[in-house]
Each structure stands twice: as C-alpha cells, then as structure tokens.
Amino acid sequence: MVYWALIHTLLFAVAGFAHPQANDTFKYDHSIRGRNPAPNTHFSTSSYSERFPDIAAAFDGNKRFMANRDSALFQSLVQNGQKPPFMMVACSDSRASESIFDLAFGNFFMERNIANQFRLDDFNTQSVMSYGVYALGAQHIVILGHYSCGGVAASIATPPKAPIDVPTQIVHTWISDIRSLYLSSNRTEVAQMRIANEIKEASGGTVPPPGIRDPGFRALVEENVKLQVQKVVDSPVIKNRFAEIVQRLNPDGTPKPSEQDSHHQRRGETGSIRPLFVHGWVHDLETGEVIDLNVSRGPPGFENYTPSSDGSSHPPPASS
C-alpha cells in the first residue's frame, strides 16, 4: 500500500505537469473573427433535400415513422400530457440513445450531452432535471453512460498542446471534470492505466485515446457515471426535493397526516410529489446490454419503498 501510495504521489506530480488544467478563458481566433460579418449565406431550399441523400433519407424516414407509429398513443400523450417515469441524462453519441430500452414515446424526459454529465454551471441539464422532476413528476433520474465514450476517451488521452483552437478548447472545458476524475481516481484499473500513461508522457510520448475494451477506459466510464450520480444528489434542487419528500411523505409514499390539509393540498398539489430515486447505469454499445452500477440513491427512509400497484399513470410499454 505504502509503495503504491509513493508511486502514485510521484507520478501525480508528473501528471500535473503533463496535464495542464483546462484554461477557462476561450482564446478566439482573431484572424477568423476579423472577417466581419462572419461568413454565411442563405441557400436554395427548393432542392437541397434532393442534393443531400442524408436529408432525403431523414424525411423518408419520417414518412415511415408517421405510417407506422401508434397514433392512439400519441393522441393520448398530446391530450393528457406526458408523465414520464424517467428523467435521463445520456450521452450525445449517435450510437447511444433511450431507444435501447425499447419503450414507447412518453417514458423518457431526456437530456443528452457529451459524456452524460451533470454540472452546476450548466443550466441546460439542471432545467431539464428540475422540470422533469417537479413539473412532470419523473420518479427516476438515470445517468446513462456508455462504454467507448469519446468524451471519456479524450479525458484520458494526452491533451492537445497550445495553441488550442476554440472548438477543441470548448470540448476540453466541458470534459474537465472527467479529466480531474481520471487524474484522481483510485480505482485499480484507472490507477494502473494512469500510471502507464504517465510513464509514457514523462518520457515525451503521447497517449492516444484508449481502445474500446481497455479495462481502465471501461472503469473510468463507470466512475464517471458514479461521479455524476453523486453530483446530482449533492445538487441544491435534488437535495431540496429529498428533504421535501421526507417532510411530506411516509416511507410507503402516502402523504403524512400533517400534510393532509397543508398549503400544498390547498394549492392543489396533492399527488404532485412522490419518492424520487437517482440511478447510475452503463450501456455496452457492443452487446446492447445495460448494466446497473448499483449506486442508486434516494431520500432516507425510502430504501424499501415499493410503488402501489396503480400504474395507471405510466405510459404503456412499446407495442411490438
């Protein structure tokens, strides 16, 4: 243990040198900005879908979707509103989406961003989560990571050397928490990968993004999901919601007697609060499997909460 700690400390010093912290000040390229106004133009819309096969395919696909969709389900969702059981933070990756759950529309209130992150400086994810939980009554917040995540891979690879172009700097600023996690995680697979990478970088080498089955890479994908779960439960909005749940609900989900005629009920909010849970899952792109990391969190006292059998408010499963 002492030996490992020593090696780790020595190499961490090297890492601090090899991995400069992201500079939050974006350096705009004045040679480009100097062309004022920025170049862009309207172009003929009459035939562009014919010229671009990708766009033609998208509109053709929409026609197939319209022909095949469950129109009664959509009519119901439109008229009665959505009541998604899940608020999910997934990755923007085109190979990973909520469709892997094979559930109907109406189940997932989605946020997707690079490397499925929750950050307190990001009002996008926070507003999706707040609206999903408070207004739509989502019961489960899920952080859905996936192996082969490019954002996690970029957090492991040697960072680009200065001068860093603006697009690269924006991405590296967004993933900076994952780089910090890579540099500090004490999970064995991550620490071993880091030490090997640090030795390579200390001798002037460059670490490329890891291979898709690299155990350190897979472990860091999982640790990133766990970190995001932790950040969600530490966030003011979710902390407050947990406190409110404990205050207003019994562990079986029924309202506490003191809440029966409270201001919440007078404001017509009865039933708008229910136990809330946060989960961390990982999607394996190669097999399609979703792995539960068993890091679920919830308000204290609700560990054994089971919803009543009245599942009427939930959207139906996908028709096959």
Ligand X SMILES: *[C@@H]1O[C@H](CO)[C@@H](O)[C@H](O)[C@H]1NC(C)=O
For the annotated catalytic residues, the residue numbers are 91, 93, 95, 146, 149
Q: How far is the CB of 37 from ligand X (least distance, A)?
A: 25
| End-to-end alpha carbon distance in the chain | 54
- Name the residue among 199, 192, 195 with its Cα closest to residue 219: 192
Q: In sequence order, what are the beta bridge partners of 291?
A: 282
Q: How far is the CB of 163 from ligand X (least distance, A)?
A: 9
Tell me 20's DSSP state. P
For residues 92 and 145, what is the distance between their CA atoms, to the nearest angstrom?
10
Q: Which is nearer to ligand X, 154 or 191 (CB)?
A: 191
Q: Is 234 annotated as a binding residue?
A: no
Q: How far is the CB of 59 from ligand X (least distance, A)?
A: 41
Tokens 């189940």 sit on residue? 107
Q: Which is nearer to ligand X, 226 or 241 (CB)?
A: 226
Q: Is 146 annotated as a binding residue?
A: yes
Q: Is 149 annotated as a binding residue?
A: yes
Q: Which is nearer to ligand X, 128 or 190 (CB)?
A: 190
Q: How far is the CB of 295 from ligand X (least distance, A)?
A: 9
For residues 145 and 117, what is the distance between their CA atoms, to the nearest angstrom?
9
Q: Which is nearer to ligand X, 207 or 221 (CB)?
A: 221
Residues that bind ligand X (CB under 6 A): 23, 25, 27, 186, 291-294
For residues 233 and 85, what is the distance between their CA atoms, to the nearest angstrom?
18
Q: Are 174 and 198 in contact (CB under 8 A)?
A: no
Q: Which residues are annotated as a binding site for Zn(2+)?
A: 91, 93, 146, 149
